[in-house]
Amino acid sequence: MMDLSISIWIPLIPLFMFLLIGLFGHRFKPLVSGVMGTIGLGVVAILSYTIAYQYFFVQGKVDGVYHKIIAFNTVWLNLTDKLHIDLGVLLDPIAAMMLVVVSTVSFMVHLYSIGYMHGEKGFHRFFAFLSLFSFSMLGLVLATNIFQMYIFWELVGVSSFLLIGFYYTKPSAVAASKKAFIVTRFADLGFLIGILILSFITGTFDFITLTDTSGEAIRQGATIGFLGMSVMTWAMLLIFMGGAGKSAMFPLHIWLPDAMEGPTPVSALIHAATMVVAGVYLVARMFPVFHTSAPHALEIIAWIGGFTSLFAAVIACTQLDIKRVLAFSTLSQIGYMMLALGVSGYGGEEGLGFMASNFHLFTHAMFKALLFLGAGAVIHAVHSNVMNEMGGLRKYLPITHITFLIACLTIAGVPPFSGFWSKDEILVAAFHFNKILFAVEYAVAGLTAFYMFRLYFTVFWGKDDRHYHHTPHESPLTMTIPLMLLAVASIFAGFIPFTELVTSDGAAFEPHIDYMIAVPSVLIGIVGIIVAMVMYRKENGMPEKMANNLKYLYKWSFNKFYIDEVYMFITKKIIFNYISRPVAWFDRHIIDGTMNGIAGVTNLVSFEIRGFQSGQLQKYAFVFVTSALALVLAFIYLWTN
């Protein structure tokens, strides 16, 4: 038996790397910083695999059920008699799975960045921030209590902010980083209020106490009503709001496409594989609470997830920036995961959706990281993000081409690649919950295949004889090795027996393949691929014709349904012009005006009455005598009456 408390080093190593590279990085050669960060993450990855192995196959299972292990815990801050914030390490199936995801992708991205960021200004800063992010994300994953999660939640938010704004002299990057931070911060306000309500009701932050399905805490508050729903439903919805912000669910999704201003490895790590699934992880973590005391919240999550997946898929079909297509695809896939959680029951096969969601989270992390890193290799080669300026790249970038194709097949749900297995389970879970949601997801599967292959064909086929300024060339090994490794993971991840490892109640159940659902879902994927092939395999007039036929839909989709404009209206017009400016004016003119007014009146009065203190003796004598006379007269008058 291995001592699991060494898992505390998993977040601490990146923290140490952050401090080391951040404080002293500028004294080393740039490459040293990169290599140090990468080695650090390599160690973290090995540790994570060891811990995950120990948990899943040696120590985690008691009587056939996985249970939660507190590997380390310390009190960080005492609040009330009951409430205290702890920092620690909680191991359970989803935490162990996320450890593998985060450390794998992070390590790949570190390695890749050594090549991709080569020669960039601020190379060491980049690696310092990557380490900071890895620290925060690992701390989030291992959180023992909801407040620890909130702490690291904020930290990943700020790492994301710093990395999106990495090119800080570029105004668009600055705006994007600001937008990402403020939108997620707004969502976090919901999260915070949710935590306040939850802790008020249950008197604890601790995950084990909260999610204990036979315990006391989970049943509190379900009976107190507030505006038509139970208080618990409100609390959980607010907590979900935090998750929706980080996971960019509609209508809080607007920051994610803009976040693509960051360097591409960052998009792969933060905005595809790890941070954006934090919302899914949060809901999965709190799942027993949702299921037991806030089922309405869960249903809302299902619908939001379903809607987001459709909405984003439609937008992805028309975007021209290669990274934005991928960003909307990420939105759509996270929508899938949310939906799967929303439709899930608890325990055994009932919990199919829960399992499917985590399964998809895992496979998605691999193939989406691969897609982004592949896109990075393409951008690196042609120095552009715009699809229309690419074409025929398969000849120049053979490794990137093959790995990208694998990733596209995986996301399109073609068996036996991993995406097929996980997506299929989600469809089954949706089918048993609600037929409309199932239909939506089914359509999204077709759209996904279409837009991914639209991207694939345009970039790697399409205009074959395109002339480039510099002949594009394949990336260095530090970039292609991660591509190949992730491609292997994308192919084989589907064979991991998730029904045995990651389930809602920790107990294994038997997987079934429902051919009534699997076969049509593969078919619609293939239809999507064929349509894309016909339209984009060779340059032809079809896409344009199509766009003209679907004029309004195309225009709305291309403009992302004008959601950004709505937000701009609210923030710029309402908050800035109708709240903040009047407040500033009110403060200067009314409040301060009153103060100055008081001073002014005092001044004025003293000016008026200063004549009394003129210093002239005659005047004093005159006033004295007349006043005395007046008093005497007054007394006599009063006396006689």
- Shortest Å, Cβ 190 to another protein: 10
For residue 12, state whether it binds another protein (rule: CB under 8 A): no
What is Dmax (Cα atoms) for the chain? 123
For residue 603, state whether it binds another protein (rule: CB under 8 A): no
Is the preceding omega at residue 251 within 30 degrees of 0, hence cis? yes
Q: Which of 35, 193, 320, 485 binds another protein (CB under 8 A)?
A: 193
Q: CA-to-CA distance for 274 and 143, rounded, in angstroms?
A: 15
Q: Which of 591, 604, 631, 633 binds another protein (CB under 8 A)?
A: 591
Residue 160, CA atoms < 13 Å, CB-side half-sphere = 34
Q: Mark 83-102 with x for binding to another protein (rule: CB under 8 A) and - for no binding.
A: x-x-----------------
Q: CA-to-CA distance for 181 and 154, rounded, in angstroms?
A: 10
Q: CA-to-CA distance for 94 and 115, rounded, in angstroms?
A: 32
Q: Which of 24, 562, 576, 635 binds another protein (CB under 8 A)?
A: 576
Task: Identify which of residues 173 and 399 has a Cβ nearer to another protein in the complex.
Answer: 173
- Shortest Å, Cβ 595 to another protein: 5
Q: CA-to-CA distance for 186 and 567, rounded, in angstroms?
A: 13
For residue 599, state whether it binds another protein (rule: CB under 8 A): yes
- Shortest Å, Cβ 201 to another protein: 11
Assess contact for 408 and 456: CB atoms under 8 A.
Answer: yes
For residue 241, state whether it binds another protein (rule: CB under 8 A): no
For residue 168, state whether it binds another protein (rule: CB under 8 A): yes
Residue 420, CA atoms < 13 Å, CB-side half-sphere = 24
Instruction: Name the segment binding another protein (CB under 8 A); options: 73-81, 477-485, 489-497, 534-542.
Output: 73-81
What is the CB neighbour count within 10 angstroms for residue 134? 32
Q: CA-to-CA distance for 134 and 128, rounded, in angstroms?
A: 10
Helix-helix angle 477-492:93-116, to 10 degrees:
150
Task: Identify which of residues 177 and 410 has a Cβ nearer to another protein in the complex.
Answer: 177
Task: Identify which of residues 497 and 597 has a Cβ nearer to another protein in the complex.
Answer: 597
Assess contact for 214 and 293: CB atoms under 8 A.
Answer: no
Residue corresponding to tokens 């949710």:
194
Q: CA-to-CA distance for 516 and 531, rounded, in angstroms?
A: 23
Q: CA-to-CA distance for 131 and 133, rounded, in angstroms?
A: 5
Q: CA-to-CA distance for 234 and 96, rounded, in angstroms?
A: 30
For residue 403, state whether it binds another protein (rule: CB under 8 A): no
For the chain, counts of helices (H) and of strands (E): 27, 6
For another protein (CB under 8 A), the number of binding residues is: 48
Q: CA-to-CA distance for 612 and 605, rounded, in angstroms?
A: 12
Rounded to the nearest 5°, which phi and psi values hold at 391? 155, 145
For residue 565, state whether it binds another protein (rule: CB under 8 A): no
- Collapse the DSSP code of 118 into the 3-class scheme (helix H, G, I; strand E, B; otherwise coil) and give the result: coil
Q: Mark 170-189 with x for binding to another protein (rule: CB under 8 A) and - for no binding.
A: xx--xx--x--xx--xx-xx
Q: Which of 584, 605, 632, 633 binds another protein (CB under 8 A)?
A: 584
For residue 8, state whether it binds another protein (rule: CB under 8 A): no
Task: Identify which of residues 151 and 409 has a Cβ nearer to another protein in the complex.
Answer: 151
Q: Which of 439, 579, 628, 631 binds another protein (CB under 8 A)?
A: 579
Task: Identify which of residues 60 and 190 has a Cβ nearer to another protein in the complex.
Answer: 190
For residue 28, state whether it binds another protein (rule: CB under 8 A): no
Instruction: Name the segment binding another protein (CB under 8 A); options: 76-84, 302-310, 322-330, 335-343.
Output: 76-84
Site for another protein in 354-393 (CB under 8 A): none
- Rg (Cα) of the chain, in Å, rounded? 31
Burial call 310-323: b when 16+ CB within 10 Å, e when fewer = bbbbbbbbbbebbb
Beta bridge partners of 91: 69
Instruction: Name the segment binding another protein (CB under 8 A); options: 150-158, 208-216, 369-377, 522-530.
Output: 150-158
Instruction: Name the segment binding another protein (CB under 8 A); options: 386-394, 534-542, 559-567, 577-585.
Output: 577-585
- Shortest Å, Cβ 30 to another protein: 16
Please give the residue ranges that form the binding site for another protein (CB under 8 A). 75-80, 83, 85, 147, 151-152, 154-155, 158, 165, 168-171, 174-175, 178, 181-182, 185-186, 188-189, 192-193, 196-197, 199-200, 575-576, 579-581, 583-584, 587, 591-592, 594-596, 599
